[in-house]
């Protein structure tokens, strides 16, 4: 409890991060409860196509007469779900590989780091496009594709942390006590290596949401769910007629991603106080 | 060129080989993970296909061979730059890609130059005025741009500059049917390039500005800056000639590392602006479910990025003569 209070005290000092956290909380609540509070189906044709915002429908309707506000609310669910789950998977993969490479070193390290560099170099968005295109777009394939292209940065970071820790005295003490490698890695080093990983993982959610929106803009979204990128893609065809139709979901993405980035920087300040010089 | 540099270049070139091999292997794996093979697709296109016909197609394509044999055949073809055939466009995949690659390269290079210039100026300015309102505006602006989806930014720029103000073209690479040539043609392309290059560049302007700013602030704490100031040099000279030159290196490194990322952005921007590069090809391939073409694009774009990275590494030594190739 004391630790949480301490964390909050430090997080609170970054005003922007607190603002970001508040916005993010609202988006999370909308994603969780919005569909109940505003039960309009985002796929239903509820009114005249392309009606402007602030009329019968709070944010207007799209080219098929679907309620844009309903789309935003349901889209929040998809964007956050994919962003968070993909980042979690990428973090777990990255930490596992980074820990193995950093703790054992040698051949394992060489092999894992070469593949990490490989995935860092190749155009990750193109790879994600190909993966989703091959396996047909569903929430699961989109999430998997984003996780597959996102883990390398975590792996690099985790490796550096494990290298920094593996020869510390407490680790040597554990070895002297005859502790198994997996116990040392999981129970001793990992908790110490975690703070920077949490920061990178949280910032990754923002990137993942941007990637997801790009994929669904290209038509590589799950056809059974509404997402923000898909809404922009639909609105693109009537840009001359109704620019606001593309503007609204874009602003939503921008605000959400900005909020996550601010929270990430706040986490950095709170979790890695040593790194904060200025 | 010193022997050390030469051996560095040779070694760096040798490192490219396993990477290209890995890209090819990944492509092969992806082909075989895909549900259905070329024979299924062709048979589907032919309409009613008997199982005998599909089996015959499989034999023709060597799809009935053991996996390892198919792998060797695939690699052999790649060595001869044979990326397969796009049955939908009835053209070899490589030709389709080579046709479109120059437009993408033009877009990416313009975006990098634009992003570097603006990002460095913004970052140095922010650092020079650390803590002032100028710094605050640049930092907040960078945060917002950093969170903006690149394709959406493109659409909004079209709305503003092409639809509302009507001063820039909304898409394409040249004015259709204008029949321009020579300098007029080049200027027309540049004219069409302004919006897509700006859309693609803006995200990196934010990235470079932030990095340049923090890099400058770090350099400002070094003794040689204090010396320069003590000599009575104007602050402008201290910032640009002394600090910025040294702060530049991380920015160049990052620009090299992010080439793959830039290519991803380029695909989205090209789709928005109808820019006739690889991105549009990706979009068309997606619409027509042309997997052969998609995989070819993945292969070629990866190879291009790997070689561009190599180039950045080599240029690095020229930029900073202190770097000794061990």
Which residues are CB-neighbours of B2 under 8 A, at least 6 positions away?
none
pLDDT digits (tens, 9 = 90+) for A112-123: 888 888 888 888
- Per-residue pLDDT reduced to its tens digit, B240-259: 888 888 888 888 888 888 88
Query: Minimal Cα distance from A265: which residue of B?
Result: B143
Give me the residues paired with residue A67 across strands. A61
The answer to whether A231 touches A71, Cβ cutoff 8 Å, is yes
The larger pLDDT score, comparing residue B267 to residue B4, is at B267
Report the residue from A123, A217, A220 with minimal CB separation from B301: A123
Contact B264 A214 (CB under 8 A): yes
The answer to whether the Cβ–Cβ distance between B18 and A114 falls below 8 Å is: yes
Res B64 pLDDT > 80: no
Residue B226 has a CB neighbour count (10 Å cut-off) of 12
Average pLDDT across chain B, whole number:
84
What is the DSSP track for A196-237?
A: HHHHHHHHHHHHHHHHHHHHHHTT-S-TTS--HHHHHHHHGG
pLDDT of B27 higher than 50: yes
DSSP A142-197: HHHHHHHHHHHHHHHHHHHHHHHHTTSHHHHHHHHTT--HHHIIIIIIHHHHHHHH
Tell me if B286 and A278 make a contact (CB, 8 A cut-off). Answer: no
**A169 CA to chain B: closest CA distance, Å?**
32
Which pLDDT score is estimated for A277? 43
Per-residue confidence band for B13, with pLDDT thresholds at 50, 70 and 90 = confident
Given a cut of 60, whether residue B324 has pLDDT beyond it is: no
Q: How confident is the model at residue B326 (pLDDT cuts 50, 70, 90)?
A: very low
Q: What is the pLDDT of residue B48?
A: 64
Asked whether the beta carbons of A197 and A151 are under 8 A apart, the reply is no
pLDDT value of residue B44:
65
Judged by a CB distance cut-off of 8 A, whether residue B283 touches chain A is yes
Residues B305, A236: C-beta atoms closer than 8 Å: no
| DSSP SS3 for A43 | coil
Distances (CA, A) of A263 to A67, A201, B109: 31, 12, 33
Token pair belonging to A148: 């597959």
**Residues 6 or more apart from A49 whose CB is under 8 A from it?**
A61, A62, A63, A64, A65
When pLDDT is cut at 50, 70 and 90, the band that residue B38 belongs to is low
> Which one of A134, A210, A258 has the shortest CB-CB distance to B143?
A258
Residues in CB range of B173: below 8 A, 6 or more apart: B103, B189, B192, B193, B275, B276
pLDDT of amino acid A217: 92
Q: What is the pLDDT of residue A96?
A: 93
- Of A84, A156, A158, A82, the closest CA to residue A120 belongs to A156
Query: Which tens digit of pLDDT belongs to each residue from B272-302?
Result: 998 999 988 888 888 887 878 888 888 888 8
Q: Do B152 and A135 touch (CB under 8 A)?
A: no
Question: Are B38 and B46 spatial neighbours (Cβ–Cβ below 8 Å)?
Answer: no
DSSP string computed for B122-185: HHHHHHHTTTSHHHHHHHHHHHHHHTS-HHHHHHHHIIIIIIIS--S--S-SS-TT----HHHH
Structure tokens at A189: 């080093």
B30 to A262: CB separation less than 8 angstroms, yes or no: no
B155/A118 CB distance under 8 A: no
Q: Do A220 and B286 touch (CB under 8 A)?
A: yes
Q: How many CB pairs under 8 A join A and B?
A: 138
Asked if the C-beta of B104 comes within 8 angstroms of chain A's C-beta atoms, the answer is no
**Which of B193, B209, B211 lies closest to B109, judged by CA?**
B193
B305 pLDDT band (50/70/90 cuts)?
confident
| Helix pair B259-273, A124-134: axis angle to 10 deg | 60
Check residue A278 and give its pLDDT: 39
**What pLDDT was estimated at residue B323?**
63
Query: Can you list the residues of chain A whose pLDDT is less than 70?
Result: 1, 273-278
What is the average per-residue pLDDT within B196-220? Answer: 91
Token readout for B268 is 């989205």
* Closest to A227 in 3D by CA, of A206, A252, A203: A252
Residues of chain B found within 8 Å of residue A246, distances taken between Cβ atoms: 152, 155-156, 159
Query: From B279, which residue of chain A is nearest by alpha-carbon distance?
Result: A126
Q: Cβ contact (<8 Å) for B152 and A253?
A: yes
User: How close is the nearest chain A Cα to the Cα of B263, in Å?
Assistant: 6
CB contact under 8 A, B302 and A126: yes
CA distances in angstroms from A156 to A94, A98, A150, A151, listed in the order given: 8, 6, 11, 9
pLDDT at A256: 94
Please report the pLDDT score of residue A210 as a whole number.
94
- The reply to whether B297 touches chain A by the CB within 8 Å rule is yes
Other beta carbons within 10 angstroms of residue A245's beta carbon come to: 25
B18 touching chain A per CB within 8 A: yes
Contacts of A129 in chain B (CB under 8 A): 267, 282, 286, 294
- Binned at pLDDT 50, 70 and 90, residue B8 comes out as confident
H-assigned helices in chain B:
3-33, 38-45, 51-61, 67-79, 93-128, 133-146, 150-157, 182-219, 223-230, 235-237, 245-257, 259-273, 278-287, 291-319
Q: What's the predicted TM-score (pTM) here?
A: 0.90
**Cβ partners under 8 Å of residue A194, min gap 6:** none
Q: Do B287 and A240 make contact, defined as CB atoms within 8 angstroms?
A: no
CB burial class (10 A; 0-12, 13-18, 19+) of residue A38?
middle
Burial class of residue B6 in the structure, from the number of CB atoms within 10 Å of its CB (0-12 exposed, 13-18 middle, 19+ buried)? exposed
**DSSP-assigned letter for residue A40:** -
């Amino acid at each position: 409890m004391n630790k949480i209070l301490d964390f909050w005290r430090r997080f609170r000092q970054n005003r922007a991060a607190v603002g970001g956290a508040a916005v993010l909380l609202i988006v999370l609540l909308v994603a969780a409860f919005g569909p109940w509070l505003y039960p309009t189906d985002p796929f239903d044709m509820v009114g005249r196509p392309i009606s402007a915002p602030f009329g019968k429908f709070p944010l207007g309707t799209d080219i098929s007469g679907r309620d844009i506000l309903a789309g935003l609310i349901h889209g929040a669910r998809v964007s956050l779900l994919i962003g968070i789950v993909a980042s979690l998977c990428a973090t777990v993969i990255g930490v596992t590989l980074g820990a193995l490479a950093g703790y054992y070193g040698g051949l394992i390290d060489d092999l894992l780091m070469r593949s990490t560099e490989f995935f860092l170099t190749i155009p990750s968005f193109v790879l994600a496009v190909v993966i989703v295109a091959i396996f047909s777009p569903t929430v699961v394939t989109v999430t998997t594709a984003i996780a597959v292209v996102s883990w390398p940065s975590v792996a690099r970071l985790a490796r550096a942390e494990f290298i920094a820790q593996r020869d510390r005295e407490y680790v040597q003490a554990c070895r002297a006590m005859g502790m198994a490698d997996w116990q040392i890695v999981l129970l001793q080093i990992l908790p110490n290596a975690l703070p920077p990983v949490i920061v990178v993982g949280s910032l990754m959610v923002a990137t993942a949401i941007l990637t997801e929106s790009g994929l669904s803009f290209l038509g590589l979204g799950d056809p059974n769910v509404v997402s923000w990128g898909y809404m922009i893609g639909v609105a693109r065809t009537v840009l001359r007629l109704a620019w606001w139709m593309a503007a609204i979901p874009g602003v939503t993405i921008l605000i959400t991603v900005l909020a996550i980035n601010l929270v990430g920087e706040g986490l950095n300040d709170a979790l890695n106080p040593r790194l904060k010089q200025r | 060129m010193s022997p050390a540099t030469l051996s560095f270049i040779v070694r760096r070139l040798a490192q490219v080989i396993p990477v290209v091999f890995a890209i090819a292997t990944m492509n092969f794996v992806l082909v075989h993970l895909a549900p259905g093979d070329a024979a299924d697709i062709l048979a589907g296109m032919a309409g009613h296909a008997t199982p005998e016909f599909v089996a015959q197609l499989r034999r023709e394509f060597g799809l009935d061979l053991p996996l390892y044999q198919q792998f060797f055949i695939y690699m052999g073809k790649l060595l001869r730059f044979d990326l397969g055939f796009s049955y939908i466009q009835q053209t070899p995949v490589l030709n389709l890609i080579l046709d479109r690659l120059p437009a993408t390269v033009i877009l990416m290079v313009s975006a990098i130059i634009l992003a570097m210039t603006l990002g460095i100026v913004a970052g140095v300015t922010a650092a020079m005025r650390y803590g002032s309102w100028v710094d605050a505006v640049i930092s907040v602006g960078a945060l917002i741009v950093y969170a903006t989806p690149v394709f959406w930014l493109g659409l909004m720029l079209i709305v503003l500059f092409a639809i509302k103000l009507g001063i820039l073209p909304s898409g394409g690479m040249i004015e259709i049917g204008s029949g321009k040539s020579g300098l007029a043609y080049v200027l027309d392309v540049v004219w069409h390039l302004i919006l897509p290059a700006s859309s693609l560049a803006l995200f990196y302007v934010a990235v470079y500005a932030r990095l340049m700013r923090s890099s400058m602030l770090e350099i400002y704490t070094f003794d040689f800056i204090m010396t320069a100031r003590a000599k009575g040099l104007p602050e402008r000279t201290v910032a640009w000639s002394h600090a910025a030159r040294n702060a530049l290196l991380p920015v160049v490194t990052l620009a090299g590392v992010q080439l793959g990322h830039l290519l991803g952005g380029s695909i989205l921007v090209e789709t928005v602006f109808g820019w006739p590069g690889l991105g549009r090809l990706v979009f068309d391939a997606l619409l027509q479910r042309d997997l052969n073409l998609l995989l070819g694009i993945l292969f070629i774009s990866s190879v291009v990025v790997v070689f561009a990275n190599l180039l950045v590494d080599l240029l690095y030594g020229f930029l900073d003569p202190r770097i000794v190739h061990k």
